[in-house]
Structure 1
Amino acid sequence: MFRPTQKEFEFNTALIILYALSKGPAHGYEIMRRIEEEFFIHKSPGILYPSLRKLVSMGYIEVSGQGMKGRKIMRIYKITESGVKFLESHMQRIEFIKRFFKGMRIFESVGGSRVREAIFKLVEVLPSAGEDDLNLLRSYIDVFVKSLEDLRNRILSRGE
């Protein structure tokens, strides 16, 4: 499964946050809501708040106010001019990220989670597999990957 490096993950997270703030100032929970709405992913507070602090230190966002909700301090974040410029220079990547996560959501809705679960169940027993089992697995993977590539090409050919 594709996994971005830590630097790519942090870079993508920063862009996603900047994009959410390009819609207007917001507190952390509103930023998380915007991200889920636009990108179909959840950024947990444990990811969001360290990223917000880093973006503030870089000058891409600023705290434009704060209020209290119960005993919690809620900071309002606002994108800065340099943040807008940085975001604008990476809009192609934002569009890619949006397409990718929308595609992942669609994949999950048509049974992709079943594929993931089946792979994890198989991986658990692979240490007990014999050479014949591994050869069969190779052939199943070849057929599956070829089918996915054929479907991708079919979809692409209709888009032209």
Structure 2
Amino acid sequence: MTQAAFFVLAALADQPRHGYGILREVEELSDGAVQLRVGTLYGVLDRLTADQLIVLDREEVQQGRLRRYYRLTDEGLRALTAEAERMAAGASAAKSRIAEGRRAPGPAVPPPATGPGLAGGIA
């Protein structure tokens, strides 16, 4: 699952949202790390709809413009949950490895060279 798809599903986890609302929610959920462009968002929405992870919830006219609201399906919730668990497991494994690396003795570092350098000169 792409990062964009993950955050779009996460944005729809609590309530249906329209395109602009999804863009804002994705940016907020990712602390600004993911800023989707409109074209990218609608490509992701099309793929998630085709995969039956989201569905069109309703359409409303606001100030003469049509707003489409999308919502997560049960399958979308399962996919989001599975991906969140996969990511958490990966983060946990990485944190464990980092902690192990900090406890392990580092490689022996040779003392700095003194005397002539590679070309026979003084370094």
TM above 0.5, yes or no, is yes
Shift of 1:86: 0.6
Match of 1:46 among 36, 39, 49: 39
Q: Which has the larger share of helix?
A: 1
Moved over 3 A (4+): 92-96
**Distance in 2 separating the partners of 1:66 and 1:93:** 34
C-alpha change, 1:51 and 1:27, in structure 2 (3 Å) is: same
Given the alignment, which residue of 78, 91, 102 partners 1:85?
Answer: 78
Q: What's 1:34 paired with?
A: 25
After TM superposition, give the deviation of residue 92 of structure 1 in Å: 3.7
Give TM-score scaled by structure 2 length: 0.65
SS at match of 1:34: helix
Which amino acid in 1 is paired with 2:10? Y
Structure 1 partner of 2:117: none
Contact 1:61 1:83 in 2 (8 A): yes
Q: Deviations over 1:33-89 (max 9, x none)?
A: 111111013111111011101111110000010111233211010000000001111
RMSD of aligned alpha carbons: 2.3
SS at match of 1:89: helix
Correspondences of 1:66-105 after superposition (within 5 Å): 66-92=59-85
Distance change >3 Å, CA 95–CA 77, structure 1 → 2: farther
**Partner in structure 2 of residue 21 of structure 1:** 12
Distance 1:57 1:43, change over 3 A: same
Q: Considering only CA atoms, is the larger Rg found in Structure 1 or Structure 2? A: 2
Q: Kindly indicate which of the two structures has a greater share of residues assigned to strand.
A: 2
Point out where structure 2 has 5 or more consecutive residues left out of the alignment.
Answer: 90-97, 103-123
AA matched with 2:8? I
Q: Is the 8 A contact 1:25 1:79 kept in 2?
A: yes
Q: Which residue of 2 aligns with 1:124?
A: none
Greater RCO structure (CA 8 Å; 6+ sep): 2
Residue identity over aligned pairs, in percent, reads 27
Q: Amino acid of the residue matched to residue 51 of structure 1? A: V
Cα offset for 1:12?
1.7
Q: What is the distance in 1 between the residues matched to 2:87 and 2:41? A: 17
